Structure formats: C-alpha cells, structure tokens
Structure 1
Amino acid sequence: MEITIENIYNSLQQVMDPEIPVLSVVELGMITDVVLQDNGAEVHMIPTFAACPAVSYIQRNIREHLERDLHISVTVIVDKHITWNSNRITAEAKVKLAQFGIAPPKRLAGEVSEELFVEVPCPHCGSTDTYLRAPFGSTLCRAIHFCKSCGQIFEQFKPLE
C-alpha cells in the first residue's frame, strides 16, 4: 500500500478521544499537520485543553494505530504553535456529541462571553429552557447545565477560543 496523507487521515479517523469515545482526533480538530517522511510520517497534534491529562495517551494511540494500520514509523509531536479552539470541531462531531449526551459548543465569533452558556440546547430533549449549574464538569473543558423541560442534567463542551 502506498502511504499517502489521505491514508494517514483515514487511519486517524479511527483514533478516538479517550474521554468522548464517539469522536476521533480528526473530528475534534486535534490534528494540525501530517508530514510524510522517507521512513514514515510525522503527525502534529494539539490537545483540546491546555491542561489535558490525556495528551501522552492520545500521542501513543495515534502512533500505535498508524504503525499497526499502515506499517510505518510514526512520530507524534504536540504542536506548540497552534492553540486548539472549539471552532475546530467538525459539524459531524457536533451531531455525535449531542447524540452522546453532551451539548456541543456554540460557534465562536469573537471572545467567549456569558451568552455562549445560556439557552444551551439540551441534548436529551432539544429544549433551550436550560441554565448553567456549574462552569466545570467532569473535565475542565465541559460545563454542567440543567434542563427545566426534561429535568436532565447534562454537560456542554465549552466554547473555547
């Protein structure tokens, strides 16, 4: 099999986020570059949150997955020149987040503001009759909301710039 950037991205679609296992590192916008080399590939990635404790785990998963799928040598580098933001999440990933029970982040068009955390659609019933209960959820990149319509507590993937 010829090793191409497309083959590498296809394989990366199977590397899932450890905290949200329905989303790949590609869908989350964590891959910033792929460079083909004579003996393999170099993959550049960014975490979804600066203090993400799973960075080394994700690096290892990327390397192991590509080496197993494509039989190439892989180096995974954390890209320190690009900062992840929630606008990098694909439209398909936002649908998957809601189906998983996490409200996707609203699209940022400037700075993060309080309005991004009000009337967050409930992923369980779709109602916007919700309110922010806590700015931090099970991870630092999520907030906790409550839906007044269905009575469910749910997390929102925070809009981050």
Structure 2
Amino acid sequence: MSENNLIPILPQEEFERRERRRSSVVPEIWNLLDSVKDPEVPVISIWELGVLQDVLVTDGAVTVSITPTYSGCPAINAMAEDIELCLKNAGYERVEVLRQLHPAWSTSWMSVEAKRKLADYGIAPSQKDDEGIACPHCGSFDIKLVSHFGSTACKALYQCRSCSEPFDYFKNL
C-alpha cells in the first residue's frame, strides 16, 4: 500500500486543537495569528508548529492559549509578544496570552506542511522513533549524530556523510 493511501491518525490532543479552530466563532483571529511565526524557525507559523492551542473572546478581551515545545523554551516569550503585537495592530486592545503546559507539546502536532517547510529551511523534521532521518540538504540517509542538542534543546545536531553538511534535526517529542 502506498503512503498516499494511508489514513493519518491524529493524537487526541491534536484532533481537539484542530476542532477548536474549526468550530471557533472568531475565525478571523485565528487567521490573523497565522502570520505569527516561530522566532527560531521563521518559515513556520505557531499554528503549523502546534503551539497555538485556543482563541477565546470574552467581553471584548482576547485570550490566546499557547503550549511551548518544551517547558524551558526560550522562544515562548517572543511568541507571546508577537501574538500581542499582531492582535493589537489589528485593533484588539485587550489581549492576554496564556501558557499551558498540559498536555505537553508533541511533534505529532506539527502539520505536514510545517515538516515540509522545516526541511526546505534546512532542518530535518521529526521522524517516528527517530529513524529514517534524511539530510535536508541532499536527501541522504547516510548521517551521523554529532550532538544530542543542536541549536535548541528540541533539536539534535547531525552531519551528513554524503554532502558533509551539518544540520539540525527536530527531535521526536
């Protein structure tokens, strides 16, 4: 059976996240937030990354919930600031960004499009069981682990034996 014929199985949390967006009464705010990028990987949005969890409006105040990729993620503060700036520039004066640690973020929440964009940017996207990692530069599977930690704690540093280029790999979390 080809990979195109497989039905993707979503984790329950990711299904619920997508449902919150799909059924939201404020789709325009979700759409605005699609412009907010991950400051460490500026080619993917916080939605594509799986960080953006929910958007609620109560009495004119916008509350946005986000989940960091790991509890000590230094980019989460920049994401919160970017969310506030985005919404305030669109005319929303009262904005609160909540950080939620439960459920913990998972690479399974990243969209297929986000993983493609990561590879195009030079970061190997997470693979099930951290197997089948390909060099994002040349596509070779002949790689070696250089360090369990790359440019951030959620990435590992590899080097391709074929093209000799180093690259980050987004760990399977």
Normalised by the length of structure 1, the TM-score is: 0.86
**Equivalent of 2:43, from 3, 11, 22?**
22
Aligned to 2:157: 144
- Tell me, in whole angstroms, the C-alpha distance in 2 between the residues paired with 1:34 and 1:159: 27
- Tell me, in whole angstroms, the C-alpha distance in 2 between the residues paired with 1:5 and 1:97: 29
Say which SS state the counterpart of residue 23 (structure 1) adopts: strand
**Equivalent of 2:136, from 118, 123, 133?**
123
Where in structure 2 are the equivalents of 1:87-106 lying within 5 Å?
87-106=108-127
Aligned to 1:110: none
**Equivalent of 2:68, from 28, 32, 47?**
47
Aligned to 2:31: 10
- Tell me, in whole angstroms, the C-alpha distance in 1 between the residues paired with 2:125 and 2:137: 12
Query: Bigger CA drift: 11-20 or 66-75?
Result: 66-75
- Tell me, in whole angstroms, the C-alpha distance in 2 between the residues paired with 1:15 and 1:159: 23
Deviations 1:5-46 (A, max 9, x none): 211111111111111111111110001111121213111001
Deviations 1:73-96 (A, max 9, x none): 211100133210111111000000
- Tell me, in whole angstroms, the C-alpha distance in 1 between the residues paired with 2:122 and 2:65: 29
Deviation at 1:146, TM superposition (A): 1.2
Contact 1:120–1:131 under 8 Å retained in 2: no
Deviation at 1:104, TM superposition (A): 0.4
- Tell me, in whole angstroms, the C-alpha distance in 1 between the residues paired with 2:27 and 2:127: 29
Query: Bigger CA drift: 22-31 or 34-43?
Result: 34-43
Contact 2:156–2:171 under 8 Å retained in 1: yes
Aligned to 1:36: 57
Where in structure 2 are the equivalents of 1:57-136 lying within 5 Å?
57-107=78-128, 115-116=129-130, 118-136=131-149
Task: Show structure 1 runs of 5+ residues with no match.
Answer: 108-114
Contact 2:158–2:168 under 8 Å retained in 1: yes
Contact 1:119–1:130 under 8 Å retained in 2: no
**After TM superposition, what 4+ stretches of structure 1 lie above 3 angstroms from structure 2?**
none
Deviation at 1:70, TM superposition (A): 4.3
Contact 1:31–1:46 under 8 Å retained in 2: yes
Normalised by the length of structure 2, the TM-score is: 0.81
RMSD value over aligned CA atoms? 1.6
Aligned to 2:21: none
Higher helix share: 2
